[in-house]
Structure 1
Amino acid sequence: MSNANAPAASPSARKLAEEKGIDLASISGTGPAGKITKADVENAPAGTPQPSPDTSAPADEAPAPDDAIAASPLAKRIAAQKGLDLSTIKGSGPGGRIVKADVENAEPGGSGGAAPSSSPANSAAPDTKSPSAMPMDGLEAPFEVQALNGVRKVIARRLTEAKQTIPHIYLSVDVHLDALLTLRGELNASLEADGVKLSVNDLLIKALARALMRVPACNVSFQGDDMHRYSRADISVAVAAPSGLITPIIRNADGKGVSEISSEMKGLAAKARDGKLQAHEFQGGTASLSNLGMFGIKHFDAVINPPQGMILAVGAGEQRPYIVENSVQQATVMSVTGSFDHRAIDGADGAQLMQAFKDLVEKPMGLLA
């Protein structure tokens, strides 16, 4: 209900006075005919609270229980909307009066019990370094901010560049793995005295390198108006390190024996996990291999590592029904997907590389030649 005896004031002045808990009657207006302006309210000294509500109001305007607490009408309205108990809020206005900012900064938990509304734009900024300091407003889970390390920044930049600028084409094949597993067992038995133990990944590195030599159109990189075609296969192998994914390189993998690849890969992986790789040990490479089979991942599409032209994504070997010698048999099969830079590598060339890789794994004696 409006008050006929209220002093003349602009709407913005009334709103500001309400927010600040200032009695307009205590302010001298400088506007036309003594009208109170927004500037008058802004310049008003502290200590001019609005008078307490008139307790002689009619029954239909009787104050609510919270009205016994010194608070501006706007603060009371916001508290009611947010379900806050005014008795739990400390006022920062004149004489301890609760004003708008006090209510907006208050957290739920009073006797009101209503669900909180969205965090207001003017609320105090939380300490984003501490999970316990995050506002529990029901919209966002507590979190802490972690600055990106140098490796993670490079990963983010390069992978964003790859997905935004490289037109990827994906080609997948299923590979019968049993012959490779048998050969690996035989090789490990013969090399045990030398302290060498080959992994499946060591043999796959060799298979990719040999396949690139058979299909040189895929051992390339796109370089703007030029394309680089490489005469050897330097295979970058994805390794998970504490600082982030890194790809140490087996250089000239096509020309090395599988035992040499195995020993070199173990050393590079250990240095990667300890953060001791030198720049020349992970910069460069003509193609990449990423193997997530040890985590049980069946199939995935990897992002090309620019400026390379392709990356091979290797899934887990698992028992599946598979056609062997014209009959369906149970066999160990893995799914492999090649991601190719379509600017440099045509689909037919990529398909030939995938076929060459499949043949080398399924007839693995070719890896020892």
Structure 2
Amino acid sequence: MTIPHYQLSVTVNVEKTLAMRKRVNEKLGKSDVKVSVNDFIVKAIASACKRVPTVNSHWMDTYIRQFSNVDVSVAVATPSGLITPIVFNADSRGVVDISKTVKELAQRAKDGKLQPQEYQGGTVTVSNLGMYGITMFNAIINPPQSLILACGGLQEQIIVDENAPNGFRKAQFITFTASADHRVIDGAVGAQWMAAFRDNLEDPANIIL
């Protein structure tokens, strides 16, 4: 890769996101829709891009193009290779809407039925290998985008909790690694974006603000 890039990793306590996911799915009841952790991640990415908009940009060789809408490319493994269908305007969509869209796009991607405009473009990408038992990994930037977020799987860790009987308890964490184009996103800006993203998952009320 010729892009001058760097990686930033953060391990996030996702207890509140898991609890909200459970409540949302309970409200949905017997409907066909069941939201996943990945749906919340897509929304958290979009929200973080609105808070730190420099990340939501393309490197165009002679200039940088910054986008107002956040179109999240979601990496999907298909029999013929990796493809990245796009959740357009993810910043202005709810988690249930995102969930329906991702499932539909992923199925059509696996069936080879996506139109080019549905996977070419996007302003930022997410790649999730957590379902394969991966703890963390580095993903390759999807040019001309400037950032891709790699998501590991759920990990149990022991944390201090003064309210717990023993003073500690188990908690659920996920490690995320962002690969960023340094020509567009300085390290400090990348760190600000990761902090915003972490805040969104540690307290998912942030994604509706």
TM-score, structure 2 normalization = 0.95
Q: Hey, what does 2:104 align to over in structure 1?
A: 267
CA drift at 1:223: 1.0
* Alpha-carbon displacement from aligned partner over 1:255-295 (angstroms, at most 9, x marks no partner): 00111100011100000000111001000000000000000
Task: Report if the CA contact (8 A) 1:320-1:333 is conserved.
Answer: yes
Q: Hey, what does 1:80 align to over in structure 2?
A: none
CA drift at 1:365: 1.9
State the Cα RMSD in Å: 1.5
SS, match of residue 339 in structure 1: strand
Larger radius of gyration: 1
State, as a whole percentage, how many aligned pairs show the same letter: 49
Does residue 288 (structure 1) correspond to residue 125 (structure 2)? The answer is: yes
Q: Hey, what does 1:209 align to over in structure 2?
A: 46
What is the letter of the counterpart of residue 334 of structure 1?
I
What is the letter of the counterpart of residue 251 of structure 1?
F
Partner Cα distance (1:324, 1:313) in 2? 29
CA drift at 1:328: 4.8
Q: Could you tell me which of 307, 322, 334 is aligned with 2:174?
A: 334
Q: 1:166 to 1:182 in 2, by over 3 A?
A: same
Task: Report if the CA contact (8 A) 2:148-2:179 is conserved.
Answer: yes
CA drift at 1:193: 4.1
Q: 1:323 to 1:251 in 2, by over 3 A?
A: farther
Does residue 347 (structure 1) correspond to residue 192 (structure 2)? The answer is: no
What is the letter of the counterpart of residue 135 of structure 2?
K
Q: Hey, what does 1:249 align to over in structure 2?
A: 86
Where do residues 19-58 of structure 1 align in structure 2 (5 Å cutoff)? none
Does residue 224 (structure 1) correspond to residue 64 (structure 2)? The answer is: no
Does residue 298 (structure 1) correspond to residue 135 (structure 2)? The answer is: yes
Q: Hey, what does 2:74 align to over in structure 1?
A: 237
Q: 1:175 to 1:245 in 2, by over 3 A?
A: same
Q: Hey, what does 1:172 align to over in structure 2?
A: 9
Task: Report if the CA contact (8 A) 1:320-1:331 is conserved.
Answer: yes
Task: Report if the CA contact (8 A) 2:55-2:190 is conserved.
Answer: yes
Partner Cα distance (2:75, 2:100) in 1? 16
What is the letter of the counterpart of residue 138 of structure 2?
D
Partner Cα distance (2:30, 2:173) in 1? 30
Q: Hey, what does 2:148 align to over in structure 1?
A: 311
* Alpha-carbon displacement from aligned partner over 1:224-274 (angstroms, at most 9, x marks no partner): 120001101100000000110000000000000111100011100000000
Q: Structure 1: state its 5+ residue gaps.
A: 1-162
What is the letter of the counterpart of residue 356 of structure 1?
A
Task: Report if the CA contact (8 A) 2:199-2:206 is conserved.
Answer: no
Partner Cα distance (2:178, 2:169) in 1? 26
Q: 1:323 to 1:288 in 2, by over 3 A?
A: farther
Q: Hey, what does 1:356 align to over in structure 2?
A: 196
What is the letter of the counterpart of residue 307 of structure 1?
P
CA drift at 1:321: 2.1
What is the letter of the counterpart of residue 172 of structure 1?
S
SS, match of residue 308 in structure 1: coil
SS, match of residue 141 in structure 2: coil
Does residue 279 (structure 1) correspond to residue 119 (structure 2)? The answer is: no
Q: Of the two structures, which has the highest relative contact order with CA contacts closer than 8 Å and spacing of 6 or more?
A: 2
Partner Cα distance (1:286, 1:263) in 2? 20
TM-score, structure 1 normalization = 0.54
Q: 1:344 to 1:187 in 2, by over 3 A?
A: same
Partner Cα distance (2:161, 2:44) in 1? 21
